[in-house]
Amino acid sequence: MVTGPEFFRHNRMVFAEKLPDNTAAFLFSGEEKKMCADTEYRFLPDRNFFYLTGLEKPDFILLIIKKDGNVTERIYAPNHDSAKERWTGKRMDFSKIAEVSGLAEEAVRDRETFADEVFKLASDNTVRFGVDGNSIMEATREFADRSRKQGREPLDIAGFITEMRLVKSDCEIASIEEAARVTEEALSEMKKIIRPGVTEYELYAKLEYEMTRRSNMLFAFQTIVACGRNAFYLHHGDPEKEDDGVAKEGSFIQVDVGARVNGYCADISRVYFVGRPESDDDRRVKLLGLIRELRKTAFGYIAPGKTFGGLNSQMYDIAGKWLADQGLINDNFSKDDVLAYYWHNTSHFLGLDVHDVGSRDLVFAPGNCLAVEPGVYIPEWGVGFRIEDDVVLTTDGCRLLSSGADDLEGIIADTACSDKT
């Protein structure tokens, strides 16, 4: 099951129901960002715009007008221009825009007519403008600023869409599950080349190649591959080719990665031990035991009615007792003592954004999707890592969307086997 025009049409209908009467809501796909003077970064549309349209091109505008209880929908898009398209690539046919978004074809208008539409709406003092206050796009901010200069304080419509995005439909959940499958297949292929001497750069390139060939070239976030002590930099986004970036026998590799499918993100972290541990006293194995206990508790705790704060408290208690048993903190430890080793929150919402919309103070509800990533980092041992999987809230608990794999044999990259292949 994948997202399609019916999904986007339904989202707009629900959004319009939430929209106050006599409001014109403007949502912008956004603009391309310059990478240098003559080229742009690969474009990712504003996520709320995408949620309501399924469209992924720059300089599109969705207009939803609710007046006297009646709803009008329009999309403004760049029309064909052979001279411009020669240099910047082909533009979508209006018929294709209608097909993807689920709008009637006559509701798709030339972007050049948008200013006239705004002028007409601005002349009606009974209509209030609405914009997405959470958008990171310049077009949204510029439109809101112009409205204010004309004496119109726009209504922030972001909250209406956030409320909708928090509870995922079946097709959204299926998309996250597929993104997780793609990610784990890529991880499996990457693991095959782990050996002493392999670099973060090689592993990074292998991961992104395997994800690209299975999904697309826009991933959920910047891929993280960190050898050994580089794992103590939680967002180690620049893979290295030498020194600390080279895998060593007896060390470990932290990977944090996510594919994107139908616009939806996976967020998966795995750790790999370079070489087989010689004994259970191996500190990598000891820490793995704690992380596995934390994960089991987290998956058992997460359920409707629970919170991120409650989940973190559970993790801090278990981690604190373990750290005290290892002599790393006192038996009468405080939360701050634990936070010296437990550096990040245990979980976050997941969806169209890898850190998806929604307050951390919200109570969990069925249909919420979460990434769950307990992690402990012990500089004194030179060992620290997290293992992360994705879940969806059910009526009485949660269900894994990724494999949940954390057994020792799956984590060991047996370099003796790697040398033979």
**Percentage of residues of the chain with pLDDT beyond 90:** 94
**Does residue 421 surpass a pLDDT of 90?**
no
- Which tens digits make up the pLDDT trace of 350-360? 999 999 999 99
CB 92 within 8 Å of CB 140: no
| pLDDT of res. 417 | 58
pLDDT given for residue 131 in this prediction: 98
Instruction: Give the Cα-Cα-Cα angle 199, 213, 257 (nearest 5 degrees).
Output: 50
Burial of 379 (0-12, 13-18, 19+ CB in 10 A): exposed
**Would 5-166 and 170-420 be classified into the same CATH topology?**
no
What gap in Å lies between CA 359 and CA 118, rounded to an integer?
33
Does 404 score more than 60 pLDDT?
yes
Q: What pLDDT score does 153 carry?
A: 94
In this prediction the pTM is 0.95
| Residue 280 pLDDT class (50, 70, 90 cuts) | confident
pLDDT of residue 420: 47
Predicted pLDDT of residue 2: 66
The predicted model gives 354-379 an average pLDDT of 98
pLDDT at 77 exceeding the cut of 50: yes
Per-residue pLDDT at 184 exceeds 80: yes
- Quick one: pLDDT at residue 418? 54
pLDDT class of 216 with cuts at 50, 70, 90: confident
Q: What is the mean pLDDT of residues 161-189?
A: 98
| pLDDT surpasses 90 at 315 | yes
Give me the mean pLDDT over the 172-200 stretch: 98
Contact 396, 303 (CB under 8 A): yes
Secondary structure element (H or E) that encloses residue 264, with its range: strand 264-265
- The CATH homologous superfamily for domain 5-166 is Creatinase/prolidase N-terminal domain (3.40.350.10)
What is the secondary structure of 352-408 as a DSSP string?
A: SSSS-SS-TTPBP-TT-EEEE--EEEETTTTEEEE-BEEEEE-SSSEEESS-----H
Confidence of residue 414 (pLDDT cuts 50, 70, 90): confident
* pLDDT at 233 exceeding the cut of 50: yes
341, 318 in Cβ contact below 8 A? no
170-420 is classed in which CATH architecture?
Alpha-Beta Complex (3.90)
Domain boundaries of the chain, sorted by first residue: 5-166, 170-420
Contact between 372 and 327 (Cβ < 8 Å): no
**pLDDT at 416 > cutoff 70:** no
pLDDT tens figures, 49-63: 999 999 999 999 999
Question: How far lies 266's CA from each of 175, 181, 249, 387, 406, in Å?
Answer: 9, 9, 30, 14, 17
Give 97-148 pLDDT, tens digit per residue.
999 999 999 999 999 999 999 999 998 989 999 999 999 999 999 999 999 9
Amino acid at the residue 253: I
Mean pLDDT computed over every residue of the chain: 96
| 218: Cβ contacts below 8 Å, ≥ 6 apart | 42, 44, 260
Residue 278, pLDDT > 90, answer no
Q: Which two tokens stand for residue 312?
A: 């973190």
Per-residue pLDDT averaged across 146-164, rounded? Answer: 95
pLDDT tens sequence across 246-262: 999 999 999 999 999 99
Q: What pLDDT score does 318 carry?
A: 98
- Mean per-residue pLDDT, 26-38: 95
